[in-house]
Amino acid sequence: MSSSGNPSSSGGGGPCGACKFLRRKCVAGCIFAPYFDSEQGAAHFAAVHKVFGASNVSKLLQHVPEHKRPDAVVSICFEAQARLRDPIYGCVSHIVSLQQQVVSLQTELSYLQAHLATLELPQPQPPQVPVSSSGSLQALSITDLPSISPSVYDLSSIFEPVMSSTWAMQQQPRPSDHLFGVPSSSNIGGGGELQALAREFIHGGQMPAQPSPGTSGSASTVIKRE
Amino acid sequence: MNPKRCAACKYLRRRCPKDCVFSPYFPPNDPQKFACVHRIYGAGNVSKMLQQLPDQTRAEAVESLCFEAKCRVDDPVYGCVGIIHLLKTQIQKTQNELAKTQAEIAVSQTKLSQTQNSDFM
């Protein structure tokens, strides 16, 4: 019996992907049912179960407001897939890669801004490297983790190439000593976009390329306890 | 058996064997590290993951697991995916600024060369 729409067993349909994988009865109100359909959901849940464990994910979801659970599931699936692809670094390698891109771009921007300043001023002046809103460019340290508490993220950007020009977020620079001046909150996106993203991810959405950090020192640089 | 239990075995309230898979990476002076990882992944999953890795890569794996676990504890909805998103946003913003600055440089250089040409005339 194919289940279209609500995969929950409460409507008389088959078990959800999670319960199918766990080979258990899918009860009414199953916490996984809305997010893991009976067709491809089982494959996605397999990754989540292998990395996090069904009971841990269940507890995580129970502590998340219901309207945020689709996003939570998408991000958990993303992390699980990343960890299975790269058992050593998981999605940290992706973070390192992006961090390096930020540093490189900001260095280039500082250089160009200094160059522009010399062109615009009639007299040569020492180039004034503007204080970047990104703050410190030190390596990511676990003690420098920003407190990220956004209301909603547009998760579609996670799965798009960096060159995408569809973002419309207006960020406020963070004056604290956080690593990249990462803003603490954003209010972008809507339920429809995220549901579309969840469907895209579940139906074989792109995973960003995660170059290995290479030397063992890079992750040590990234994750450094002080 | 280790006379001093590692943080994991202390947390799990069990004896710490000599070949404990956790003890090299979860010293007893940092109980929070294991608590965080256990909360998100569970001791069994972490143990399985570590056992599947070569010894020389386990330290890095533990650090990345701790990092992701802490991100997830801090942000139960997005975890470290939130950081990825913010970094991508930062990259896009910087690229936009770069493009704008390059355009401004091009304009300035054009004006400068026009000024120089008119001086020669």
- d(C-alpha A48, C-alpha B81), whole Å: 15
| In chain A, residues 63-102 whose CB comes closer than 8 Å to chain B | 63-64, 68, 71-72, 74-76, 78-79, 83, 87-92, 94-95, 98-99, 101-102
Chain B contacts of A52, Cβ < 8 Å?
Answer: 40-42, 45
pLDDT in tens, A79-113: 999 999 999 999 999 999 999 999 999 999 999 99
* Contact criterion met (CB < 8 Å) for B93 and A171: yes
Helices of type H across A38-91:
41-51, 54-62, 69-85
Tell me what the mean pLDDT of segment A121-138 comes to. Answer: 53
Q: Per this entry, what is the length of chain B?
A: 121
**Distance between A109 CA and the closest CA of chain B, angstroms:** 6
A89-103, A150-164, A207-221, B70-84: segment of lowest average pLDDT: A207-221
Of B117 and A128, which is predicted with more confidence? B117
Q: What pLDDT is recorded for position A207?
A: 44
Tell me: ipTM over 0.95: no
Q: What pLDDT is recorded for position A131?
A: 52
- d(C-alpha B49, C-alpha B40), whole Å: 14
pLDDT in tens, A70-80: 999 999 999 99
Of A168 and B18, which is predicted with more confidence? B18
Q: What pLDDT is recorded for position B96?
A: 97
Q: What pLDDT is recorded for position A192?
A: 45
Tell me what the mean pLDDT of segment A21-27 comes to. Answer: 92
Tell me what the mean pLDDT of segment B7-22 comes to. Answer: 94
Check if B91 contacts A (Cβ < 8 Å). yes
Torsions phi, psi for B114 (to 5 deg): -65, -40
Q: Kindly list the domain boundaries of chain B, sorted by start residue.
A: 1-74, 78-120
Mean pLDDT over the full length of chain A = 68
- Closest Cβ opposite residue A116 in set B49, B89, B104: B104
Predicted TM-score (pTM) of this structure = 0.69
* Contact criterion met (CB < 8 Å) for B83 and A90: no
Q: What pLDDT is recorded for position B6?
A: 94
Q: What pLDDT is recorded for position A166?
A: 37
A136, pLDDT greater than 70 = no
pLDDT in tens, A197-213: 444 444 444 444 444 44
pLDDT in tens, B23-42: 999 999 999 999 999 999 99
- Label residues A187-218 b or e (16+ Cβ within 10 Å = b): ebbeeeebeebbeebbeebeebebeebeeeeb
